A and B are shown apart, each in its own frame.
Chain A
């Protein structure tokens, strides 16, 4: 059998052979299988357009496509805010494409759109998931444009980023532009300044000085305006009568030094003397901008954009016993909805029917739960088998899952706000440092003014430049950047800027159970046989029986590949609540609950936290399999290491079974909380924080979203749900729990290096200040000293990289 039969060719979804909606389609002369007509249509479109390269290049699987349900006029209204006319014919639209998973997606989207004759420009950004399209609106309607995206499997939404994110992005860009311009100008100014170092003739020297002045003007007024505007803001805060703020910014001495040196140099050019500082200012501004750029880069790493959980856009409504497929938008309260497959579209109460529903999205547990009349179902959960008629109560933006997502977003933005307002270390230092510098500078200038007026200005400049906190401001960002890169090589992705600074002080780790400490998948942990069949034969038989099933239990048996027996799909029936039955040569094999599978089930020793599944032939038990969700290979070692370094580890699980306690015992964790709703997990974290300070949370499910957003540092594994990854500050790409140890040790080393650099920078600045004040230091030497001190700090940060092998 072709391997492709088990996965949808497009979305890679696992297919069962008795899956009701299985489609095959001939694509590029090869027969391929799909989970739904939408996927088949997408793959067909991609091949017909000659874009099949996408399937070779992609490294993430795409979402299952959903059709557009809005009418053309509804669309126009919805997208009004992101549409704008460039000229009479051309319009531009900015779209948010949630399904961009890798750079191949960007390629596919751009290619597809540019093939349309009406499309002029298309640019897809990988990180922000933003798509900008310019096209002839008269020859191609918005609906058709979105439809052509839909045809290759991408949903679109209006581009509505948060204003905070927009500001960060534009600031970053502004800073980079200034840095580049300052670099080019500084090189030119230095080249011109070489003239005076090599003793040019007097008239040439005048000409060179004028050129240096001309080149310096854009540097002062354009590149250095950041320092001037900051200094102005700080001064106006100081002079604010209602609420004077005495927190003097470090930018005041910087701005003062630039202004003083600039004025002195202009006077020198007019008078024709040699005391010009153009090159010193240029170097000073360039180095400071570089430090500032690195610092903002490290601080404002762009967070991924929030994405609503995907709920089905359509549902089957029963009206007068007749089913009709409608958009969920046009549902009305208490409508009856028929659910017989896939993702549940509404929150509601079951009126009739019975079904197995997998609620991992809410509880994190993958074993399905039985639902009958009177029970409630939640939108976003998955129906595994059975059929339900549900009275719709909430859907769309009002559903439980959408509220969960909103709460998480809110917690996330609060968290970002908390960290943005947390004062940077150097700002704290600046508070007492700046007044000292200003007093010292003016004191020494005044002293020299009385004694030797010619030395007043150089000493003023030397003090201001020498006190420049360049190395101080660089200490943190360089170390953080080096550590982040180093961790990324290890497969640890850091998205929260506070992680490395905060981690060393955290003494409490909270873990989710399923999928985090455990593998999140059922495994056969023990087999016991009752007949002459060997354990391997029994496993193989069970594997053959479960071959077509989508039930989470089936995955436990799928690993056994060599099946001696092959059942035809029609000989297998799965029975709700019981198990699976297969027929061959008048023999009936059953796999499932003890009481159903065997006529007289034998008493068995019970394994803690494991589920017994019996295999029987014509009612006689052949074997019993104990299924469990085993720990990840690295869990025990990691937890022991963490505990031995004094970290308190806790489990918070949505699971209600005794397995939680078993795992806590195995890992010798003192505290385990089971049966936790997402809200309870959040309040657990709050309690822990009040008792013992900051908390780190490791989780994986959508249900962990809110708690991850609340924790001081949140960690998700790479195979976690997208919601969890979105809320996480750290993603462990290799799915290894022992990477937590690496993360912690790198954070500790980073902290040490930052401390060393800070101590060095402070000592340097404090010791050089008196030298500058008594006039032993020329401004240019102060600038060189500053550069060397910054270099030392940067080199110190590079020690975070291990030596190349």
Chain B
């Protein structure tokens, strides 16, 4: 049972990482336009875009 004293702080650290990842994703606008993202997969990018 003593291992709980180690495991739970580790779990909390993961929890903090998950929460900050979520907040970062949401704040950087990743959930603002879901229609666009759904179709992004179909937009193939060319390897060397010409520089203008």
Contacts and interface: CB of A to CB of B under 8 A. Distances in A.
B19 A185 contact: yes
B15 A126 contact: no
Nearest to A200: B1
Interface in B1-52: 1, 4-5, 8, 11-12, 15, 18-19, 22-23, 26-27, 29, 31-33, 35-36, 39-40, 42-44, 46, 49-52
A186 B19 CA distance: 12
Contact of A215 (B4, B12, B31): B12
Contacts of B36: 103, 106, 124-126
B15 A188 contact: yes
A401 B50 CA distance: 43
A290 to B, nearest CB: 15
Nearest to A128: B33
B51 A115 contact: yes
A637 interface: no
Interface residues of A, number: 38
Given A125-B36, A191-B11, A181 B22 contact: yes
A180 interface: yes
Nearest to B32: A125
A607 B49 CA distance: 62
B8 A207 contact: yes
Given A103-B35, A177-B26, A180-B22, A50 B46 contact: yes
Contacts of A184: 15, 18-19, 22
Nearest to B46: A50
B49 to A, nearest CB: 6
B27 to A, nearest CB: 8
Contact of A211 (B8, B27, B46): B8
Nearest to B29: A123
Interface string A120-153: 0001111110000000000000000000000000
A127 B42 contact: no
Nearest to A103: B39
Interface in A166-206: 173, 176-177, 180-181, 184-185, 188, 191-192, 195, 200-201, 204
Nearest to A195: B4
A569 interface: no
A114 interface: yes
B49 A176 contact: no
A49 interface: yes
A106 B29 CA distance: 16
Given A107-B43, A184-B19, A127 B33 contact: yes
Contacts of B32: 125, 173
Contacts of B22: 177, 180-181, 184
A208 B15 contact: no
Contacts of A107: 43
Nearest to B26: A177
Contacts of B5: 207
B4 A208 contact: yes
B12 A211 contact: yes
B15 A115 contact: no
Contacts of A115: 49-52
Contacts of A201: 1
A217 interface: no
Interface string A18-55: 00000000000000000000000000000001100100
Contact of B26 (A176, A188, A207, A211): A176
A494 to B, nearest CB: 16
A57 B41 CA distance: 12
Nearest to A218: B19
B33 A57 contact: no
A50 B8 CA distance: 54
Contacts of B46: 50
Nearest to B5: A207
A111 interface: yes
A658 interface: no
Nearest to B23: A177
A200 B4 CA distance: 11
B51 A117 contact: yes
A86 interface: no
Contacts of A116: 52
Contacts of B31: 173, 176
Contacts of A211: 8, 12
A211 B39 CA distance: 43
A192 B42 CA distance: 43
Contacts of A127: 33, 35
A306 to B, nearest CB: 19
A191 B7 CA distance: 12
Contacts of A188: 11-12, 15
A210 to B, nearest CB: 10
A181 B27 CA distance: 13
A211 B9 CA distance: 9
A114 B50 CA distance: 10
Interface of B: 1, 4-5, 8, 11-12, 15, 18-19, 22-23, 26-27, 29, 31-33, 35-36, 39-40, 42-44, 46, 49-52
17 contacts: A50-B49, A103-B35, A103-B36, A123-B29, A126-B33, A126-B35, A176-B26, A181-B22, A181-B23, A185-B15, A185-B19, A188-B12, A191-B11, A207-B4, A207-B5, A215-B12, A215-B15
Interface of A: 49-50, 53, 57, 103, 106-107, 111, 114-117, 123-128, 173, 176-177, 180-181, 184-185, 188, 191-192, 195, 200-201, 204, 207-208, 211, 214-215, 218
The 5 closest A-B pairs by CB, nearest first: A125-B33, A103-B39, A126-B36, A180-B22, A188-B15
